[in-house]
Structure 1
């Protein structure tokens, strides 16, 4: 059965693009957004998307808290917020979400789906890998900087494939080509390692992605971070592909002059997702008994900056 009542938790750039597609496809979409200004904009003007994807919606339904979603009895919930907010969000969802509802981690970072499953159970949780880049272009507009579908979803538990297939169908029908994957964790790590290579360096130096890669000193450090992360992934039996290092160098080298979310978070006085990026490289390195000095150093430095906010 195709879900019609859909909740999108987080109306930042990622959640807004997702919600706009679903709204325009005729689904009953309710956004959860804690930022008052963003709530007012969505309620009054709807979602405006430009760049590689162009979309506009009518006025949106927006609530200020996860608790308020209980009034809408969502059948499908997409979590599109920073990973560090997951424990509070999942505790709130557990109080009212039906057992038949599906929850999708529509996020960056490694192991976000595991955090959700700790509270909500593995049966109804899916993980996604999103293949577009989005930024806020102001208070009322989202800009898609690149769009390279398909996107991917996968269930956590065997026997729940239908949930993933259904979500992929919903998204594809809404204009976001999506497929169910068989080995999504490898995709999560491939993307997570790319984020680990430069995000923290940008956050620490204030440089954008292209500046950080073009600087000889930060590029050398990024390459060491990348090599460590790849070694850790393979030691934990994550399949990256034999040529992943060179593929990663090519991908990073094509990066544009934009600030990664980790830098934007620190500039805005917010905690970053470093725990789910370089922090996870450190964690899995410890599990495998491998040293991760470069990842550990940038992880500690970003955490120190967060404490000073």
Structure 2
């Protein structure tokens, strides 16, 4: 299978790298520093069960996606429309685009830019970071839940064969919202403290704040008509057990001086709460504090 990864940061490098290890033809579209290192040495995948230099292609331009059967769409949420427009001239008929992004509305926004192409939302559960140019560190997990779309069954089979637990689910919306609950509970707190999840939750009052955040998210989801799978509070408490050393993606962005996706996490909950007449003070405070730090 010919695969392009648009916006190959930590998430895209992990799933693209896993497919490349399984023999698929993968091209990472990434920032120049990563591209230069990967072209020279391959992608270093420092995973929990292996440490390898994986040979694959890398490029800085969207044109490198030309002819791809699948595009793993991994750009930051704020860049969804622009990245879609960059890809548009190079997408073949029948291509499948899979949104491996934070937030709940990226697939809809990408469909608006790329009418006529198959776009599938996906929920990502993986703890990764880019430790340096062309150097991926995998801290835990690695599952995907993908929305059914033309070609998604073939991709799911390829991912499973590559060692990526993958499920096709018609109720991706509920799973996306559950992921939004997790991100809203953890990301901003990890970013403000600049600490991993395991250290954050042991600080006085943090579990109480996270409980308030989750309650607000659940109220907004219910008003949106979203059915959350499972108990959100239990899921939030369990997450730290599987990735205690993980810094949130928001924390990683702030520590690198990059824009965050907080507008599409706690900020999204705040906006939808306002539209639906639901108060979201805990989410508003976390969103505002991250924006304040980001502005520095």
TM-score by shorter chain over 0.5? yes
Where do 5+ consecutive residues of structure 1 fail to align? none
Measure the CA separation in 2 of the matches of 1:82 and 1:59. 25
Q: Distance in 2 between matches of 1:241 and 1:180?
A: 15
Gaps of 5+ in 2: none
Q: What's the CA shift for 1:45?
A: 1.4
Could you say which residue in structure 2 is the equivalent of 1:86?
A: 80
CA distance in 2, matches of 1:92, 1:127: 19
Work out which of the residue numbers 100, 110, 113 in structure 2 matches 1:116. 110
- C-alpha RMSD of the superposition: 2.1
Could you tell me how far 1:89 is from its partner in structure 2?
0.5
Distance 2:44 2:180 in 1: 28
SS for the counterpart of 2:101 is: coil
Equivalent in 37, 46, 54 of residue 50 of structure 1: 46
Conserved in 2, the CA contact under 8 Å of 1:99 and 1:124? no
1:57/1:121 CA distance change after superposition, 3 Å: farther
Alignment partner of 1:216 out of 204, 221, 225: 204
Match runs of 1:124-203 below 5 Å: 124-147=118-141, 149=143, 151-155=144-148, 160=149, 162-203=150-191
**Aligned equivalents of 1:173, 1:144: Cα separation in 2:** 19
Partner of 1:24: 21
Partner of 2:3: 6
Q: 1:221 to 1:126 in 2, by over 3 A?
A: same
Q: CA deviation at 1:47?
A: 1.8
Alignment check: 8 A CA contact 1:21 1:176 kept: yes
Distance in 1 of aligned mates of 2:238 and 2:100: 25
Tell me the TM-score normalized by structure 1. 0.87
Mapped to 2, the partners of 1:23 and 1:250 lie a distance apart of: 31
- Show the counterpart of 1:233: 221
